[in-house]
Amino acid sequence: MNRLLKQYIKDLWMSIAFWAVAMGLFSIFRYYGIDEEEGFTVIRQYSGITGTLRALFGFMTIGVLIGILYATVDFVYEKITKNRLLMVYDVLITSFLYFIISIGVFTIVMVWFSEMYDLNLNTERGWWKSNKSFWATMLYMIFVSFVFSFIKIAREKFGKGVFLKMLMGKYKNPKEEKRIFMFLDLKDSTTIAENLGHFKYSQFIQDCFYDLNEVVPKYDAEIYQYVGDEAVLSWPYQKGLANNNCVDLFFAFQQKKQSKAQYYLDKYGVIPEFKAGVHGGVLMVTEVGVVKKEIAYHGDVINTSARIQAECNKHKVLLLISEKLLKDLEGKARLSSKFLGSVLLKGKQEEINIHAIDTK
């Protein structure tokens, strides 16, 4: 619950800030200097710098209310639908909800300003149907909503904070970062694929990754890429260590699958089980591609993480972690670890100590 609240608050502040700025800019576009233009007659309350500031305050108030309500609707809607509807239905439903909310917010603010500044504004039922100013504002908000959606999609695609860094050109040249990687792979995938067939197996993997995506935001993880039935997750080093995010995510994913065990049994006849390898350290990050740009990580850390995960079958465990990363974890008291020895991972010259890990 605390993690869900934390996620909601982050999205809430982003929404409030965006819409407050967006509506503030709209008031400037609309009212700044309008009383000086030939052919315009502006009511006294909205003339001069005082009127501009009054309009700015009013529209920013609208922006704050819209930001709060839109963020709340998005949060609840995502939890209810779990992003499983077609995008066209998502757009239609959320657009309708936004429209209803916008009418309510504008009505509330207009009533408030009518009383505060003794304005004779029409706030009767259905006022918005013939109000040209309202429709002009809605057209602007629709355009701004597309911008906000683009920012959210880019943020989800590249990871929190990464999109802004890409815009600023931070990764045009390779940069050194310290990160944690988890390679998460479906156990017995070949057998499951043969039993289900390629179409149903694809649905099976899709369901598994839907469940994973519900868990990922709660543990501040970034999904680096999907490769077949494998997902690669990543954290900035300190964020991955905080609250044992880099290992607690795995156990939360396990619990999520167990809570839906009957669903998987009824639909596929098997409960998915994943194995994972976790390792962290310094590596290089850079922007690659022109037609399809993306962030790429290069270095020994990512290779070692993949090879640690490959050791799971050999040792018949679900989660392996490098000794170095285990020592850095904050909440080791909550974990049960078993040293499995020093192994020479394929392609490496030095041995690395690995541990099986579980909750107590």
Q: How far apart are CA 98 and CA 101, in angstroms?
A: 5
Question: Do 101 and 192 share a domain, yes or no?
Answer: no
Q: What is the pLDDT of residue 56?
A: 83
Whether 85 has a pLDDT exceeding 90, the answer reads no
Strand intervals (E) in 228-271: 230-236
- If asked whether residues 223 and 340 sit together in one domain, one would say yes
Q: What is the mean pLDDT of residues 155-174?
A: 73
Average pLDDT, the chain: 83
Residue 193 banded pLDDT, cuts 50, 70, 90? very high
Q: pLDDT tens, 303-335?
A: 889 989 999 988 899 999 999 999 998 766 677
Query: Which residues constitute the domain of residue 222?
Result: 162-359
Domain boundary among 158, 185, 217: 158
CB 252 within 8 A of CB 276: no
Give yes or no: residues 171 and 285 share one domain.
yes
- Residues 102-124 have a mean pLDDT of 78
Residues 166 and 314 in one domain: yes
pLDDT reported for residue 48: 54
Are 95 and 177 part of one and the same domain? no
CB 246 within 8 A of CB 258: no
Residue 201 shares a structural domain with residue 325: yes
152 with 52, same domain: the answer is: yes
Q: What is the pLDDT of residues 211-242, one digit of tens each?
A: 998 898 888 898 888 988 999 999 999 999 98
CA pair distance 1, 62, nearest whole angstrom: 29
| CATH code of residue 261 | 3.30.70.1230
Q: Is residue 112 domain-shared with residue 248, that is, in the same domain?
A: no
The reply to whether 138 and 175 lie within a common domain is: no
Do 135 and 224 belong to one domain?
no
Q: At what angle do helices 132-158 and 2-31 cross, to 10 degrees?
A: 140
What residues contact residue 32 under an 8 Å CB cut-off, 6+ apart?
A: 52
188 with 326, same domain: the answer is yes
Q: Check residue 38 and give its pLDDT.
A: 52
- Domain total in the chain: 2
